[in-house]
Structure 1
């Protein structure tokens, strides 16, 4: 029986691939045989990640420093990736940030920065990869990492710019799915719930947040390493060939209530 999730021969580009969920998803794709292009701002970290993935999974890897808010850097990064691999089959738009403060105290700069990274940055990378690689190839899998906060509001961690940007990612995903389906490109979003990352650990480990989680999450716990990976592998694989435009929550049921 064929392995529906086999990615051997595919090339995957992952943004925000220096720490946290980006690295986990890159490893999951590499485990299925995909070559990996690690994009992030911190050169030393992405080189370490690329080396670790190559050494562990035996796939070809490439580390490219890129700030996704810089259009020229994005274009040059995609050109460099194509010069090395000749194609990009899979894109995981994972790079992002998060401003937490009461809405009435959020500054213009905070709101603008959030949209510039999480929403506009996601678009810039998708645009470049689609135009330079996927549309010419008539094939592509684009996975935009949104958030369950892109689907709902919340009372525990005020972060209106993040909600706005991630909600934008969900509908941007639908728009791109509508436009690029004719080119053989699927565009989907994943909406993670509470997962441990270097950015979230301190908050998630606090007593008040643990108590909140028990009532707000039907499974009464946070997501653990590996529980996001299967969604990414599915949406990157041949198994999802007729799935496009969706927002897939991986949140322990948070958005079901």
Structure 2
């Protein structure tokens, strides 16, 4: 792919989908800024050895941390080509049990942080370069109200998670509309049931899913690679469902 030498920021890079995205980007020759609240040592051990990286550890809900990460990226590499807003939390409580703290945690992590990073990367860096690839990790929960597998409610995500992921999809389309004239594309990948720390121990009914297996992080990472490429310059405002076909059920 034509992204060798590009610079990417990936949030939630310490594990799961974010780790897979960072590793797959590095294998394409992309230098990666690994953003997480936890150590990214395991991710670094899996990355290609002929690329550079920055590990930026902190709370992505803190705008000052976000701005510092972007500034550090520019100081080290001079440019930002790719932004992957991946980091997320998921509170699976019922609406009755959901607290405002639960709500704010999911909305701030999954949606507000994406706003912070997008704005910091675009203005002025991507806009001045007349180039950028922004990929937001949403979820089919943001499209179907939170049921991620089966009609019996198994695998149901929470109201805050579904709302945040639906918000990411709307945000993706708005950013694509506004920044398209500047050579910046913005797309979303919407995973279905995927084996990560967030889904550990959650029972999934795959009987209605054409591909009857749970997804793995690399399934999502390969979709991100397409949107990150220069070859995807005519693709923007799209939501790619990577869900084993569940969404047709």
What interval of TM-score do these two structures reach, taking the shorter chain for normalisation?
over 0.9
Instruction: Give TM-score, length-normalised by structure 1.
Output: 0.90
For 2:126 and 2:191, locate their aligned partners in 1 and report how far apart those are by CA, in whole Å.
26
- With over 3 angstroms needed to count, the CA separation of the structure-2 counterparts of 1:219 and 1:188, relative to structure 1, is same
Bigger helix share: 1
Distance of 1:38 and 1:124 partners within structure 2: 16
Equivalent residues of 2:23, 2:43 under 8 A apart: no
Whether 1:66 aligns to 2:58 is: yes
Q: Mean alpha-carbon deviation: is it higher for 167-176 or for 247-256?
A: 247-256
Name the CA distance, whole Å, in 2 between partners of 1:73 and 1:158.
Answer: 28
Pair 1:46-2:45 in alignment: no
CA contact (8 A) 1:74 1:128 kept: yes
CA displacement at 1:103 relative to structure 2 = 1.3
Q: Give the Å deviation of 1:46.
A: 1.9
CA contact (8 A) 1:6 1:33 kept: no
Q: Contact conserved, 1:50 with 1:62, CA < 8 A, in 2?
A: no
Q: Does 1:105 align with 2:97?
A: yes
Distance in 2 separating the partners of 1:134 and 1:58: 25
Task: Tell me by how many angstroms 1:102 deviates.
Answer: 1.1
Structure 1 position 77, deviation (Å)? 0.8
2:177 is the alignment partner of 1:178: yes
Q: Report the counterpart of residue 27 of structure 1 in structure 2.
A: 23
Which residue number corresponds to residue 14 of structure 1? Answer: 10
Partners in 1 of 2:200 and 2:83 — Cα distance? 26
The answer to whether the Cα contact below 8 Å between 1:151 and 1:255 also exists between their aligned partners in 2 is no
Cα offset for 1:47? Answer: 4.3
Distance 2:41 2:216 in 1: 25
Q: Secondary structure at the match of 1:227?
A: helix
SS in 1 for 2:189: strand
Three-state SS of the structure 1 residue aligned to 2:25 is helix
1:126-180: per-residue Cα shift (whole Å, max 9, x none)?
A: 1111113211111000000000101112232251110000000000000000111
Give the Å deviation of 1:6: 2.7
Superposed displacement of residue 224, structure 1: 2.4
Following TM superposition, by how much is the alpha carbon of 1:252 offset from its aligned partner in structure 2, in angstroms? 0.4
Q: Is the 8 A contact 1:214 1:221 kept in 2?
A: no
Q: Number of aligned pairs?
A: 242
Q: Deviations over 1:164-205 (max 9, x none)?
A: 0000000000000011111110000000111111221222xx
Indicate the residue corresponding to 1:249 in structure 2.
241
Contact 2:23 2:46 in 1 (8 A): no
Find the aligned partners of 2:218 and 2:101 in 1 and give their Cα distance: 34
The answer to whether the Cα contact below 8 Å between 2:2 and 2:231 also exists between their aligned partners in 1 is no
The equivalent of 2:191 in structure 1 is 192
Three-state SS of the structure 2 residue aligned to 1:100 is coil
Gaps of 5+ in 2: 148-152
* 1:206 aligned residue: none
1:144 aligned onto 2:136:
yes
Contact 1:102–1:158 (CA under 8 A) maintained in structure 2 = no
Q: Which residue of the partner structure matches residue 164 of structure 2?
A: 165
